[in-house]
Amino acid sequence: MSGGSRVTARNRTKPRAGDGDSSTNNQGATVGRGRGKSRDHGPLHIMDVKVRTLLGIGFSFLALFLVSFLLYNRQARTEEDVEFRKLKRVVTPLPAPRMLDLPQFQGGHKESLYWGTYRPHVYLGIRARTPKSLIAGLMWIGMKDGQYLLRHVCQDSDVLNTYGWIEHNGRDYGRQVLVDQALSLTTSFLKENGNGSGFGGDWAVRLEADNVKSISDEAKWSSAHLFFYIADEEGNSLTLGREEFELHDDILLSSGLRGDVGGWEVHLKSKDKIEVHYAGFKTLHTHNLTELVQATLAFNARSTGLLALPDALEGSPNILVFQFSVKLPSVLDIVFVSGTDSKSSRIIDRINYLTGTILTRKLDERKKYFEDKYNRCFNTMDKVDSEAMFVGKAAIANLLGGIGYFYGQSKIAIPKGFTQKNGEKIMSYWPAALYTAVPSRSYFPRGFLWDEGFHQLLIWRWDIEICLDIIGHWLDLINVDGWIPREQILGAEALSKVPDEFVPQHPSNGNPPTLFFVLQGKDKSTFYWHGRDIATTRELNPKTLSSGLDDYPRASHPSEDERHLDLRCWMLLAADCLHSISEIIGMQNTSARGSFLTPKQLRNFEVLNQLHLDDVSGAYFDYGNHTEKVRLRWHDVNVGNTVKRELVRETLQKPHLQLVPHVGYISLFPFIMKIIPPESWILGKQLELISNRSTLWTDYGIRSLSKTSSLYMKRNTEHDPPYWRGPIWINLNYMILAALNHYSKVDGPCRSRAHALYKELRSNLIRNIVKNYYETGYLWEQYDQAGKGKGKGTRPFTGWTTLVVLIMAEEFPSFQL
């Protein structure tokens, strides 16, 4: 949004026709008397004044009007400016030094993480941690329903048998297996900073294409079409290695020059027979590359009858795509070398070090190091069997391999009560980078604030420097009011995966436990999540997206009188962390110390029980304006000139302020955060809720919502199936398991019961996740609480489902507050 204002022209008062000098001809005329005759009538003088006087009065009045008008508009503009300044705060960075400018994030650390598999939304994508990078990626031709289709972007509709990293260290090594019907592809990535290389070093990709071993001879493919591309997001022209690619042991595919890495070259080496074709494009819209290549293949096929790229270039192309048609099995090594414009570049030696048998040896070394580090970090060898260990390694590998680098500007929805001078409904955050893990490469390949805390429970154990770098990127997104957009959709590639209506972020909404000030409720010890729709007629229970638990039942009628139990617990965690940090750094500020009454206040067990406890059941609940008598019914709705049948919400009973009687994950938050004293009778009641098969317990994990809830497995709208209304989620099961582990180790009447539940729940979770992985090839977003624990939702979901590694390792955070 522009910082300037647009001045609109307003109509000025104009003199009417006829006003002028003719009036002077009748100067001094009066009403005639005597002899019955009068002079011709001149203007009627109400006051006996001169025209000059009248004009003076008129101009004086006009001047007064203009002054008043200007003063009014100045006041209006002042009010607009105040509103504009308030609005601008939303997109104003915190006036503090950037975290990523700290010395520990510069120098060797920055260079060591420069290149990586930082494009998680594609099956294999490489880029540098810079806003406009040189990017590379893999495509191949698959088949579906008898049609050829180009595989590139991770999507469920491709129906791959499996894909995902089975080893990845987050820095310089990864190995991934993709199975597309009969075709098995193994992609390996290795990075080195060799003698003579440019900034960030060199990297190699090994592509191994073969038939799946278990299929019949009739189903096997004889050949495959693989595509590898290199593109410059800055638009710099790329040079083609040669116009005709003959079979050689070393083929120069492309070269170029950039400010960050200097001169660079990409080479292909293989012992197998390869047919090479190419195409060059000039466009900055790299997020449309799939469609561009697929259209080029289709056009050339119609023209020549060949399923091949046309061996043609657009002028000064910034994208080069190479097609490798190979017999199966085949192995291809693709090498990127930087700094080729320096005198000591040693290009041939560096290529040899990253191809062939030397590359094989280095990949084997990195594989062994990955396995050794996994055992050191998580120590699961004596705790789970070999099948579970394999799944654990794949889980952490997919989390690390799913780390991405994004750059762009978040789109921010204009808060209610504010307007922009240009009438736009959104404004842009400042341009920023984000280095982050992602929940799912296919469905959620971007940063989520709520998810990232769970991701870091694993990543800090694996590589503390990567963890701190990720946290630093997130903290650099804080605005002047302490807010971070909860979902980061940065850059064209990320935007291409999100429907338009979900792109704008709302500054009144935050994820746990990030926002400390805009979420506070009317009572100092209560909090409520913002963002619930108070006017909806389509939702059975208005969603609470900012909580991360989306459609989990809350008060039926949103209001500022709500008290959200989970947020109260998150705020205690956040306040307690801030208090600990202040003690570590020796904060002496008096006003700051005063804010630390909050942890003590939120930790007050009696106050918690007064606000949220049902004394009869021993369960904790939200509080708000609620009725259970709400339903969705079909209604005929006029839409233009047509009538549509839609599900519309009906309220059959007037809501009133009360505890919201839905037992589920939220009911367990005081237990999860270990606020309940081990000697309290309430702890025994909590364990009863957890272990009761009629409420939360299953053989596959803890349900998100009790079977006794009126909204258990109910759709929220015509198009929204139940999400947090029954299915098993691993992040909350991990937190429940951590609490059971805690209470099994402290003295109290429930100690042995907590220990027994801990052992059984841990075993159930590991067994079901491992079973699903072997049956389907994926970790899943959630698991069916009723259908034998079958994986549900998005896959692969290698965000917080990777917490299964910590469950195997019996590593839990200290949530005790």
Asked about 349 being catalytic, the answer comes back as no
User: From the candidates 158, 451, 781, 811, which is the catalytic residue?
Assistant: 781
- The confidence band for 571, taking pLDDT boundaries of 50, 70 and 90, is confident
- Tokens representing 360 are 């094989």
Please state the φ and ψ torsions of residue 664, each to the nearest 5 degrees.
180, -155
User: From the candidates 550, 561, 614, 760, which is the catalytic residue?
Assistant: 550
Mean pLDDT, rounded, of the chain: 86
| pLDDT surpasses 80 at 735 | yes
Which of 345 and 32 is assigned the larger pLDDT?
345
66 strand-pairing partners: none
| pLDDT surpasses 90 at 497 | no
Listed range (3-7, 499-503, 556-560, 699-703) with the worst mean pLDDT: 3-7
Q: What's the pTM?
A: 0.82
Instruction: List, for residues 91-131, the tens digit of each pLDDT value.
Output: 999 999 999 999 999 999 999 999 999 999 999 999 999 99
Instruction: List, for residues 459-489, the tens digit of each pLDDT value.
Output: 999 999 999 999 999 999 999 988 899 899 9
Q: Which residues contact 374 (CB under 8 A, 6 or more apart)?
A: 392, 393, 396
Q: What is the DSSP string of 784-812?
A: -TTTTT-EESSSS--SGGGGHHHHHHT--
| pLDDT surpasses 80 at 185 | yes
**Is the CB of residue 729 less than 8 Å from the CB of residue 780?**
no
pLDDT at residue 89, as a whole number: 86
- pLDDT winner (highest mean) among 140-154, 639-653, 691-705: 691-705
- Tokens representing 440 are 């799912």
Give the C-alpha separation, 588 to 601, whole Å: 21
Asked about 810 being catalytic, the answer comes back as no
Query: How buried is 358 (Cβ within 10 angstroms: 0-12 exposed, 13-18 middle, 19+ buried)?
Result: exposed
- Nearest CA to 260 among 337, 198, 168? 198
